[in-house]
Structure 1
Amino acid sequence: MTTAPDDEARLREEICEVGASLHARGYTTGTAGNISARLADGWLITPTDACLGRLDPARLAKVNAGNEWISGDKPSKTLALHHGIYARNAQARCVLHTHSTHLVALTLAGVAAPDAVLPPITPYQVMKIGRVPLIPYARPGAATVAEQVAAIAGEVRGVLLERLGPVVWAESVTRASHALEELEETARLWLMLEKPPAPLTPTQVAELESAFGVRW
């Protein structure tokens, strides 16, 4: 099964539009970050050392189902990370990684807990992204990180890489960007308050899970 040319063209445009929007609003800087999107016969991924604010749809790297680079510019060095998530989570259609300021700062200041870097403090945090665990530091592109993330890719919708920033996945590129934005905003709120806010109660979290079909 192959992806229709029109569908792939639209997906290429969406990746570039989302990348430009995130870059323009300061969610990523320089050449940090990467975006991929699943195709029927592989996936697209932003090139290595590419600026998300200046992506060219025609130059996005294309990788086949066997994880082989077949066209476009050289793929991001996080290719194995993206591949592992897609292999373990059939619902994931996009994987998005940025070095968002407040989320990186959170790992430097100290997360709330390794299995949930932030407690559930807002309803949209629960609804859009859910519980996010911390992945201990390793160099960018390290195979150990890809393995750790792949192992839990079916249980959560995102992770926070220590000193490097968030990786989130969702049913579309746009939804992944919304989840990333919600997580970054939650980190900003957490860091700006002198006294950590009380989290939502277990009953309140359960109500959100039931009403919106999400999982904390």
Structure 2
Amino acid sequence: MKPAELNVREDMARLCKSLFNRGFSVGTAGNVSVRLEDGILMTPTNVTLGDLVPERIAKIDLEGNHVAGDRPTKEVFLHQAFYETRPQAGAVVHLHSTWATALSCLTDVNADDCIPPLTPYVVMRVGAVKLVPYVKPGDPKSGELIRDLNGQYGAVLLGNHGPVVSGKDLFSAVCAAEELEETAKLLVALRGQKTKLLSEEEVAELQTTFGTI
């Protein structure tokens, strides 16, 4: 194993443990992946994010064949679809975090923009978020739903399931997933209240200054 790949594996174990220890993932829920030059590293199936062994993290090649480590997450199709449609994505984080999952269960959420611009940081780190219909966990159709978005969204909420967030690298994807969760918490807390969102002009200014996701 090349030193660079081992470093990525160690970073995955460290950051996933941090997510687990702070309650962004419980039990064996959630999965994380990182794109390499020769494949994709993925968290194994039925393993908690808080207990990853770097050398046992799953690896698939560019054709989707399992080539190293334990058996990959059953959500492999979801991760592959993000990488295939978003060449800028270097990592993908899928959580079952409480507040974002709560939003994914509501019936009156705007499916095309289910995380509205409440704060500048959700605009800067997450961008627009699409709510996609529910499918059974591990169903290859989840990949089809992501491919149908044609790379337009860096993050989605899976209906009645939870958030999936991509980023240019693992650290960025983890930070974006955390930002999405905290914004979802604010949105749920503010439901029924008169809430001021950022204006189109303010969002555009942020995108001009910091770029789009």
Alignment length (residue pairs): 212
Aligned CA-pair RMSD: 1.3
Aligned residue for 1:86?
Answer: 83
For each residue in 1:55-89, what CA deviation from the matched residue of structure 2 results, as whole angstroms up to 9, or x when unmatched? 00011011111100011101110111111111111
C-alpha contact 2:91 2:168 (8 A) present in aligned 1: yes
Q: For 1:111 and 1:177, how far apart are their aligned partners in 2?
A: 27
Pairwise CA distance, 1:196: 5.0
Amino acid at match of 1:201: S
* Contact 1:102-1:187 at 8 Å conserved across structures: yes
The equivalent of 2:207 in structure 1 is 209
Secondary structure at the counterpart of residue 53 of structure 1: coil
CA distance in 2, matches of 1:105, 1:128: 21
Q: 1:9 maps to what in 2?
A: 6
Q: How far did residue 165 of structure 1 move? A: 0.5
Give the corresponding residue for 1:54.
Answer: 51
Residue identity in the other structure for 1:162: G
- Could you tell me the percent identity over the aligned residues? 41
CA distance in structure 2 between the partners assigned to 1:58 and 1:40 by the alignment: 18
User: Residues 89-168 of structure 1: matches in 2 within 5 Å?
Assistant: 89-110=86-107, 112-152=109-149, 154-168=151-165
State TM-score, norm by structure 1: 0.94
1:130-157 deviation line (CA, Å, top 9, x unaligned): 1000011111011222111123252111
Aligned pair in 2 of structure 1 residues 111, 132: CA closer, same or farther (>3 Å)?
farther
**Helix, strand or coil for the counterpart of 1:36?**
strand
Give the partner amino acid of 2:35.
Answer: R
Contact 1:88 1:154 in 2 (8 A): yes
Q: 1:8 to 1:109 in 2, by over 3 A?
A: same
Instruction: Give the secondary-structure state (helix, strand or coil) at the position aligned to 1:54.
Output: coil
Q: Distance in 2 between matches of 1:137 and 1:187?
A: 19
Query: Partner of 2:179: helix, strand, or coil?
Result: helix
Retained in 1: the 8 A contact 2:77–2:142? no
| TM-score (normalised: structure 2) | 0.96
Contact in 1 for aligned 2:126/2:179 (Cα 8 Å)? yes
For 2:46 and 2:186, the matched residues in 1 are separated by: 30
